[in-house]
A and B are shown apart, each in its own frame.
Chain A
Amino acid sequence: MRKIWVVVQREFLARVRTKWFVVTTVVGPLLMAVIIVMPIVMASNGGRERSIAIVDVTLDGFGERLTLMLGAPGPLRARRLNVGVAELARVADSLAGVVGRKELDGFLIVTDETLQDGRAEYRGSNASAQIDMDILRRRLSEALLTERLDRVGVDPTLVAQARIPVEMRAVNIRGGQATGESGESMFWLAYIMWFLLYMAILVYGVQVMGAVVEEKTTRIVEVLVSSLRPFELLAGKVIGVGAVGLFQLSIWAVIARLLLARPELVARLIGLDIGSAQGLALPEIPSATISVMLVFFILGYFLYASMFAAVAAMSSTEAEARQAQTPVTLLLVIPAIMSLMAMISEPDGKMFVALTLIPLSAPIAMPGRWVVSDVPLLQLYGSIVLLIVATIFVTWVAGRIYRVGILMHGKRPSPAEVWRWVRST
């Protein structure tokens, strides 16, 4: 045990002292800040107004009323150009020139037919900006609806009443009680956790691989195994790199907590006005969630790190290892993507339940499911037990491959040879 501790210490210090660690530790929170601020930015649509022209070819004043409606609070500033059908082509050409000079973002062509079949055309430099187009489309159809109802003689106050939008709060129920957190914010939290777990397991697993290959290629491994059992070396290495991971994640967690507590600070940092940060409702993260995430990170990391170590032990060069890691990476990526899809489409479906129980996907899937839905405790513990059993088994196999592999150089072993390593005493 003391020897493992010495290896852990070395591995930890050697990594924490690198530039790589400092850079990623700093860049991580920046990324997080971007993720947190993104919704604000998106809500305020980048803070920039879009200036568009309404090319009005209608004869009955619909264009005018539409322009008026677009003037309602929102990021669009519209002015109307009354154009005859005959001039349309010429005006459109010259407006395209104006858009080209960036004096205008684009223009919407409305004709009399628009009212009947709903057809309109927008041309502009922001035509692929989904949010802009959504707003424009929504406004246009609202205007059309109002106009059509008005024409068949429906009372405008009735129309206004009919248009009061739905505001449904989606609140999670956990353990038979409403949580007070909105379903959407829980989804975002689960999504962030999914992303963090996936990245952390992959990044630190690959680091274990790099460390093993490095020891092999520099041949220091033989000096090491003359003093340490291969298993002590492997354990020390995996724990050491994992400790670096936990250390980095906890630095981020602390920073994230500080940032979440004061979103207006974040907003100011990137130059947004404080008011726009108000709407930001961030969920409180209960300690149970953090514990679940921690348990699954540690187990998942051990599971994959030992696989990466085995891959490294089979390879003689870094290039070879990078090639050989693909199956292991896929073993992580595919369950991760399936988990994300299940989480989005059916967070309480059978598929997601299965993914949270299968050891390969559980480390990434379970914490997300824990956040978005009510996980029966039996399933949580079952998942942990299965994962522990799988981790012990995989670590055992990996340890045996590692033990023989680290002293082998030359051509990559065939699967049959690797199997012999596993079985050999």
Chain B
Amino acid sequence: MSDQFAVELKGITKRYSGHTAVKDLDLRVPKGSVYGLLGPNGAGKTTTIRMIMNIIGPDAGEVRVLGQGRGGRDLSHRVGYLPEERGLYKKMKLLDLLVFLAQIKGVDRIKARRGSIEWLERLGLSDWVEKKIDDLSKGMQQKVQFISTMLHNPELVILDEPFAGLDPVNTQVMKDIVVDLSERGTTTLFSTHIMEQAEKLCDSVCIIARGTKVVDGPLAEVKKGHRGRHVIVAVESGMDSVRRLLDERSVVAKADTYGQYAELELAEGADPQTLLKNLVQAGARVTRFEIAEPTLNKIFIDLVGPEAATARAKGDFANA
């Protein structure tokens, strides 16, 4: 059964002195999917990814990558990894560096060279092959980092905050790469705290906060689970005229009123039809009644809560 998952985590836990970065986390990344690991800063995304890569070991739980009970590092020839904090050897020549980074993944020299040159052409860096990394602009260095991640045609690509610090051009390059990877059937797992990007790119998501899972599954299902509870209402006579109905806490959990219309969040178990009936019975002329699909951002804020969405400051571990 693990064959259908590129990454499978069972009850992994990682404790650091003073706090638990990841707690009893289960996670399944279907093969071929684009999977978003979402969470506020300090939620444990990087720690989780590092455990998947076997850069650090979990204190408890099991990590399976590509159907094997080993971490990504031991499968480095099949996995591409782009950490959040990226660096390059500044004094090395571009091509030498790419070949080296491929070689330590187990790719042989000649293949690595060929692949590097192809990718450098594709991203428009052909003229810089013999230049030192130091001579490259920051944007070019970012492209070099993408190339080193993709060069060996990995089956699984893991990107930690891939869009952080990218200029608009490279953001587009990165998106194109992710789309291209998914079209070729490569599994992509990336972490982000920017929900708009995840919403555009992901098939499946997992939202974590404070080291524990809040929700996961295919994006459509996650959204479906929250559908029907968001309603946008407008009445001819203005929203004040139905204030009493909107304050009915058994039906409406939360109302953001904007004069001409209101965004409502219905109470647990409440039927939108009940609200509509109530409005009509109260004699209001309803001009708009829309059961809205929540944005991922909205789901995120709802589930994680604004207080958890702020980073938890924790001393020594900049990336915990």
B55:A222 contact, CB within 8 angstroms: yes
Q: Which one, B98-106, B171-179, B232-240, is touching chain A?
A: B98-106
In whole angstroms, what is the CA distance A14 to B89 when docked?
Answer: 10
A176-196: CB near B (< 8 Å → 1, else 0) gives: 000000000000000000000
Shortest CB distance B174–A (Å):
16
Identify the closest chain B residue to A5 (Cβ): B103
Is A116 an interface residue, CB under 8 A from the partner? Answer: no
B104:A228 contact, CB within 8 angstroms: yes
Q: A225-B55, A226-B72, A226-B81 are in contact. Are A218 and B104 (CB under 8 A)?
A: no
B316:A7 contact, CB within 8 angstroms: no
Identify the closest chain A residue to B318 (Cβ): A409
Q: From the candidates B72, B88, B104, name the one contacting A7 in the complex (CB within 8 A).
A: B104
B144-156: CB near A (< 8 Å → 1, else 0) gives: 0100100000000
B105:A227 contact, CB within 8 angstroms: yes
Identify the closest chain A residue to B108 (Cβ): A2
Q: From the candidates A3, A14, A225, A409, name the one contacting B92 in the complex (CB within 8 A).
A: A14
Instruction: Scan residues 1-54 of chain B and give those whose CB is less than 8 A from a CB of chain A.
Output: 17, 50, 53
Is A220 an interface residue, CB under 8 A from the partner? Answer: yes
Q: From the candidates A226, A409, A420, name the one contacting B76 in the complex (CB within 8 A).
A: A226
Q: Which one, A141-149, A201-209, A384-392, A410-418, is touching chain B?
A: A410-418
Identify the closest chain A residue to B105 (Cβ): A227
Instruction: Scan residues 279-320 of chain B and give those whose CB is less than 8 A from a CB of chain A.
Output: 315-319
Identify the closest chain A residue to B84 (Cβ): A222
Contacts of A229 in B (CB 8 A): 73
Identify the closest chain A residue to B56 (Cβ): A407
Q: Interface residues of B, CB < 8 Å — how many?
A: 34
Shortest CB distance A293–B (Å):
32
Instruction: Scan residues 212-251 of chain A and give those whose CB is less than 8 A from a CB of chain B.
Output: 215, 218-229
Contacts of A413 in B (CB 8 A): 316
B315:A223 contact, CB within 8 angstroms: no
B89:A226 contact, CB within 8 angstroms: no
A408:B87 contact, CB within 8 angstroms: no
Is B86 an interface residue, CB under 8 A from the partner? Answer: yes
In whole angstroms, what is the CA distance A223 to B145 when docked?
Answer: 9
Q: From the candidates A6, A215, A407, name the one contacting B104 in the complex (CB within 8 A).
A: A6
Q: From the candidates A6, A18, A223, A228, name the one contacting B87 in the complex (CB within 8 A).
A: A223
Shortest CB distance A117–B (Å):
70
Shortest CB distance B148–A (Å):
7
Instruction: Scan residues 67-87 of chain B and give those whose CB is less than 8 A from a CB of chain A.
Output: 72-73, 76, 79, 81-83, 85-87
Is B249 an interface residue, CB under 8 A from the partner? Answer: no
In whole angstroms, what is the CA distance A277 to B111 when docked?
Answer: 58
Shortest CB distance B88–A (Å):
6
A408:B17 contact, CB within 8 angstroms: no
Q: A7-B104, A14-B91, A229-B73 are in contact. Are A223 and B86 (CB under 8 A)?
A: yes
A1-16: CB near B (< 8 Å → 1, else 0) gives: 0110011001000100
In whole angstroms, what is the CA distance A364 to B33 when docked?
Answer: 59
In whole angstroms, what is the CA distance A226 to B57 when docked?
Answer: 13
Is A345 an interface residue, CB under 8 A from the partner? Answer: no
Contacts of B224 in A (CB 8 A): none
Is A425 an interface residue, CB under 8 A from the partner? Answer: yes
B55:A3 contact, CB within 8 angstroms: no
B81:A417 contact, CB within 8 angstroms: no
- 13 new A-B contacts at CB < 8 Å, known A218-B89, A223-B82, A411-B315: A2-B106, A3-B104, A6-B104, A10-B100, A215-B87, A219-B87, A220-B87, A224-B104, A227-B76, A407-B55, A407-B56, A413-B316, A420-B17
13 pairs, CB–CB < 8 Å, chain A vs chain B:
A6-B104, A7-B104, A219-B83, A223-B81, A223-B82, A223-B86, A226-B73, A227-B81, A407-B56, A407-B319, A410-B317, A410-B318, A411-B316
* B residues adjacent to A (C-beta < 8 A): 17, 50, 53, 55-57, 72-73, 76, 79, 81-83, 85-92, 100-101, 103-106, 145, 148, 315-319
* A residues adjacent to B (C-beta < 8 A): 2-3, 6-7, 10, 14, 18, 215, 218-229, 407-411, 413, 417, 420, 425
Closest 9 CB pairs of A and B: A219-B87, A220-B87, A218-B87, A227-B76, A226-B81, A222-B83, A219-B85, A227-B104, A6-B103
